[in-house]
Amino acid sequence: MPAHADIRIKFEIDDRKYEAVGFLQEGEAPVSGREMMRRTDTENGGVIGDIDEGFLLDKDATINKNGPDALRIYQIPVGLRPYFLVINRRLPTNSQFISLLDNPYGMRWWSQRACWMSCPFTASYLVVRRLSLQP
């Protein structure tokens, strides 16, 4: 079985390309949010932050609907539903909290949450990075 750190799930929403990546070595214990970010923020376009989170939580203008079906967040691939998707956006009121997307029932609905940076981050979490714009 491959290590969690070997997970790379690429996906595209509109014209933006992303990848959800793991960060734990085989058999490794959970790590803090700071260590998770250190391990994942140096490749490609880095861990996504405020701008990309806003993009994902916004409505897709090409979908002629109102309501939640028009949100880009619902275009996240089914294969990512078992994971918490970590985004490097800190809460303005407390920078010790980091934003993440959660799909608690493995269904279609995603929600936005925050997690304390010092909490243990397990193999249930993947970090979302923006793929660089270079080919």
pLDDT in tens, 37-82: 999 987 767 888 888 888 888 866 555 555 555 677 778 888 998 9
- The rounded distance, in Å, linking the Cα atoms of 28 and 97 is 23
CB-CB contact of 16 with 32 (8 Å) = no
Q: How is residue 45 written in tokens? A: 């376009």
Q: Can you give the pLDDT at residue 65? A: 56
Cα-Cα-Cα-Cα torsion 79, 83, 84, 88, nearest 10 degrees, comes to -60
As a whole number, the mean pLDDT across the chain is: 84
| pTM for the full predicted model | 0.85
Q: Can you give the pLDDT at residue 18? A: 93
Q: How is residue 93 written in tokens? A: 């009121």
* Domain limits, the chain: 4-130
Across the strands, what pairs with 90? 98
Determine what percent of the chain is predicted with pLDDT higher than 90.
39
CB-CB contact of 102 with 110 (8 Å) = yes
Determine what percent of the chain is predicted with pLDDT higher than 70.
84
Q: Which residue has 């995603």 as its token pair?
A: 110
Residue 10 has pLDDT above 90, yes or no: yes
Q: What secondary structure letter does DSSP report for 133? A: S
Q: How is residue 48 written in tokens? A: 């996504």
Residue 120 has pLDDT above 70, yes or no: yes
Taking the alpha carbons at both ends of the chain, their separation in whole angstroms is 30
Quick one: how far is CA 19 from the chain centroid? 8
Q: Which residue has 């691939």 as its token pair?
A: 77
Residue 135 has pLDDT above 50, yes or no: no
Q: Across residues 97-119, what is the average pLDDT? A: 84
- The rounded distance, in Å, linking the Cα atoms of 16 and 122 is 27
Q: Can you give the pLDDT at residue 105? A: 74
- The rounded distance, in Å, linking the Cα atoms of 110 and 104 is 8
Q: Can you give the pLDDT at residue 30? A: 96
Q: Can you give the pLDDT at residue 95? A: 85
